[in-house]
Amino acid sequence: MSSPPRPVMVIFDRDGVLNVDHGYAFKPEELEWVPGAKAAVKRVNEAGVLAVIATNQSGIGRGYYTEADMEAFHAEMLRQLTAGGARIDAIYFAPHHEDAAEDRYRVADHPDRKPNPGMLLRALAEFGVAPGDAVMIGDKPSDMEAARRAGVRGVFYAGEDLEGLVLRELAALTGTTFPE
């Protein structure tokens, strides 16, 4: 399929949208994909649309795991996606929390931590995407609020068919219908 005439982006929350949220997911060997998640990312790629992740990772700030642990988890996600012919163009994360164990992460209202829009705004700026040409798919009210504050369409994911939801959003973003 050809790329849209302008840069378009799908921003995925991570835990609960792409991977099953068992609470503070960070062990690569425990990565469990939400059904249809890998196919959904591949559909985004095939449409010529950017696929990014914006994820709060307060477990780092709370001292439950390290940035290196999270990076290993992300590396396994990317490895599995690549094996299936899919990719993520960028991953943004916010390890901050008001009760963080480490001073460097102890921030009560960090601009990147959802519901604040910092990660989304940075993704849009770095890839040159207008807010109206992006959608955020998340499973929490904080995802929807971050999208609203960034001027991005927020789509609440409640466990339905993720691939079908992505296809509908791609059609709305690009004006192209995609076969199911």
Cα distances from 177 to residues 63, 105, 171, in angstroms, run 45, 43, 5
DSSP 132: G
At which residue do the structure tokens 């990317």 appear? 78
Reply yes or no on whether 15 is catalytic: yes
DSSP 8: -
Active-site residue, from 13, 112, 139, 143: 13
Radius of gyration for the alpha carbons in the chain, expressed in angstroms and rounded: 16
- Is 16:139 a contact under the CB 8 Å cutoff? yes
Sheet containing strand 9-12, strands side by side = 90-94, 50-56, 9-12, 134-138, 153-156
Reply yes or no on whether 21 is catalytic: no
Query: 21: which 2 tokens?
Result: 């949220």
Residue numbers annotated as active site? 13, 15
